[in-house]
Amino acid sequence: MRLIEIFSIAVILVLYSSVLSGLMCEFLKIDKKADELRKKTDSLIFVSESFYNTCYGKGYASLEEWKESCRELWELEDIEWEVVENNKNCIYCGKWKSSNETVEVYCSQAD
């Protein structure tokens, strides 16, 4: 009778450990997705805010410096900027592309 109890406990422990292993794998997947989302959000906020700051003369010394710095820092595939002039406004357009998104931001300055 004692042998059956030990065997039953061993089977329960094996089943319990396999369930825990599966749960740990799911937690690791969720953690990886959260890290990817955090990096995506951080890059979006940093690049767009630094673009605005540079346009208003608060951030990088020039938009070229902004472009090179952000490309290296956030491993962007492509990053560009251009000036679009309207009647009384100077509009800057910043565009960048990462592995999974393409973003455009605009900054307007009155003359």
Rounded-to-integer distance, Cα 74 and Cα 44, Å:
9
Percent of the chain clearing pLDDT 90 (strictly above):
16
pTM of the shown model: 0.69
Domain ranges of the chain: 2-110
Q: For residue range 41-54, what is the model confidence (pLDDT) as tens digits?
A: 888 899 999 999 98
Q: Alpha helices, DSSP H only, in 1-111?
A: 2-55, 63-74
**Sheet with 89-97, edge to edge strand ranges:** 78-85, 89-97, 102-110
**Residue 30 banded pLDDT, cuts 50, 70, 90:** very high
- pLDDT for position 110: 57
- pLDDT for position 57: 86
Q: For residue range 63-80, what is the model confidence (pLDDT) as tens digits?
A: 889 999 998 888 888 889
